[in-house]
């Protein structure tokens, strides 16, 4: 760059700064502005930065006054912009009134996952992940039955895109946002996002099989992107989400204050972010957006109820879900098995969509609490320290009614409003307690009888919350 050009850039930047700075005479006697906090990134994109502004400041106008050319302007999940900056511009931006922080942009990615060869479509009974979230304990019963199908809920897939034409989606997958700028309009050219979407809402491999899917493409054909693009995707969803809605984010990277803030803001805007914990066998609290407040962070378990060898772990994990040898949609058609917390998270996002379909006004915190309250505790083995031993298992919840007060010893019966009970021993869950019962079911619905097991104060007491009439049933 010539000296003349450098002077021109300096003059333009200083002129822009003068639009919001004190007069020359005042600044000469006043203190030097304190630079806004600066956050480095472990895997930074050279020369690119994410600028956060005070909520009272117009981000687009600030960028214009500073003669910057932002790649993204954020309005909802973050007030700010992403832009390339020279060293001098970075110094000026940090001293600009209204700027609250500047962070280096960083590489975001979906780590390469080992996968099995493509297979012919399998029945849901052969998809062990769905089977596992449909029951409390092993062995699997080769069944996947849910109450509801997610119809009316929109699941936003923050990923590499979706193969819209795949048979799994039946026209329910549409374009929302694309941060990559390559003219693909959310169409997947990697395969990761299609697999994830298939687990959330595919007709064969999905949990919520009638939910709508929206592609929020923030990673390219090589599975790579930038934090600035991820934030842009979160910002777009925060502004444009069709409620009831959930979001799945099976992606991430090193910890970022700004990215975490954007994920939290999405939750505050009413959309629950379900996030993969990551596949580096390390503390998820060192990963973003897995470490963000307000998200549901999901680690991966295997078919033997063990924490997988690759899964991130730690106190930032809320739940485990199946994440090894998970069969779902393959880009271009058919199916493929893949491994990763990327495969675990969409199981939980699908369950969240089922809950949201029945409780369309439920806030993210309510959904998160319900997921935790209806999961199975203390089940996994080979689990890392400080990681909640909680497996997502609420997908098959049904309802029953009862007509009388139930004591700890008295015979009782319930009227079952589901058809997936069979003769033998089943388990009823009430406020995280389990009562094993024996009995039979005749026809569609009918009487399920047994003896209430002893418990503190008895189960199903009159005046319980909820009142006699409805409760959770898990065969």
Out of 71, 105, 131, 159, pick the active-site residue.
159
Tell me the C-alpha distance between 330 and 120, whole Å: 10
Tell me the C-alpha distance between 377 and 391, whole Å: 7
The length of the chain in residues reads 475
Residue pair 54/1 in contact by the 8 Å Cβ criterion: no
Query: Tokens 């491999």 appear where?
Result: 205
DSSP category for residue 286: G
Out of 71, 250, 288, 342, pick the active-site residue.
342
3-class SS at 35? coil
Tell me the C-alpha distance between 217 and 48, whole Å: 20
Residue pair 67/16 in contact by the 8 Å Cβ criterion: yes
Per the annotation, the verdict on 342 as an active-site residue is yes
Tell me the C-alpha distance between 299 and 275, whole Å: 9
Residue pair 140/131 in contact by the 8 Å Cβ criterion: yes
Residue pair 158/234 in contact by the 8 Å Cβ criterion: yes
Tell me the C-alpha distance between 270 and 243, whole Å: 8
Per the annotation, the verdict on 192 as an active-site residue is yes
The radius of gyration of the chain from alpha carbons, rounded to an integer in Å, stands at 25
Tell me the C-alpha distance between 218 and 223, whole Å: 9
Out of 71, 178, 188, 192, pick the active-site residue.
192
User: Dihedral sign, CA of 3, 4, 5, 11?
Assistant: positive
Tell me the C-alpha distance between 288 and 296, whole Å: 12
Give catalytic residue positions: 159, 192, 342
């Amino acid at each position: 760059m010539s000296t003349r050009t450098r002077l021109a850039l300096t003059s333009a930047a200083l002129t822009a700064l003068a639009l919001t700075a004190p007069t020359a005479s005042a600044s000469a006697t006043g203190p030097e502005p304190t630079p806004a906090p600066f956050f480095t990134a472990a895997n930074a994109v050279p020369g690119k930065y994410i600028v956060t502004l005070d909520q009272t400041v117009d981000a687009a106008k600030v960028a214009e006054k500073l003669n910057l050319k932002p790649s993204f302007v954020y309005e909802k999940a973050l007030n700010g912009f992403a832009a390339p900056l020279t060293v001098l511009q970075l110094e000026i931006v940090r001293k600009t009134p209204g700027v609250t922080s500047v962070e280096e942009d960083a590489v975001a990615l979906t780590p390469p996952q080992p996968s099995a060869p493509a297979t012919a479509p399998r029945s849901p009974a052969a998809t062990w992940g769905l089977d596992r979230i449909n029951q409390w304990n092993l062995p699997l019963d080769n069944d996947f039955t849910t109450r509801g199908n997610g119809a009316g809920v929109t699941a936003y897939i923050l990923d590499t895109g979706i193969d819209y034409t795949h048979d799994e989606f039946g026209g329910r997958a549409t374009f929302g946002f694309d941060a990559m700028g390559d003219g693909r309009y959310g169409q997947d050219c990697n395969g990761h996002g299609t697999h994830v979407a298939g687990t959330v809402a595919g007709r064969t491999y999905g949990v919520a099989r009638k939910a709508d899917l929206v592609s929020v493409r923030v990673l390219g054909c090589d599975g790579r992107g930038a934090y600035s693009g991820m934030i842009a995707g979160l910002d777009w969803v925060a502004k444009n989400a069709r409620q009831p809605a959930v979001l799945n984010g099976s992606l991430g990277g090193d910890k970022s204050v700004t990215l975490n803030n954007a994920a939290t803001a999405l939750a505050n805007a009413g959309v629950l972010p379900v996030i993969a914990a990551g596949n580096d066998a390390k503390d998820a609290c060192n990963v973003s957006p897995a470490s963000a407040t307000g998200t549901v962070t999901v680690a991966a378990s295997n078919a033997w109820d063990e924490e997988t060898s690759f899964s991130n772990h730690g106190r930032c994990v809320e739940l485990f879900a199946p994440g090894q040898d998970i069969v779902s949609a393959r880009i271009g058609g058919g199916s493929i098995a893949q491994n990763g917390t990327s495969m675990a998270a969409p199981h939980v996002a699908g369950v969240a969509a089922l809950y949201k379909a029945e409780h369309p006004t439920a806030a993210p915190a309510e959904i998160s609490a319900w997921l935790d309250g209806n999961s199975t505790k203390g089940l996994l083995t080979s689990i890392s320290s400080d990681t909640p031993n909680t497996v997502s298992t609420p997908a098959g919840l049904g309802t029953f009614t009862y007509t009388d007060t139930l004591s700890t010893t008295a015979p009782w019966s319930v009227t079952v409003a589901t058809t997936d009970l069979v003769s033998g021993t089943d388990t009823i869950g009430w406020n995280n307690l389990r009562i094993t019962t024996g009995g039979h079911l005749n026809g569609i619905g009918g009487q399920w009888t047994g003896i209430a097991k002893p418990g503190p104060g008895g189960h199903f007491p009159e005046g319980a919350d909820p009142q006699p009439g409805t409760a959770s049933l898990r065969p």
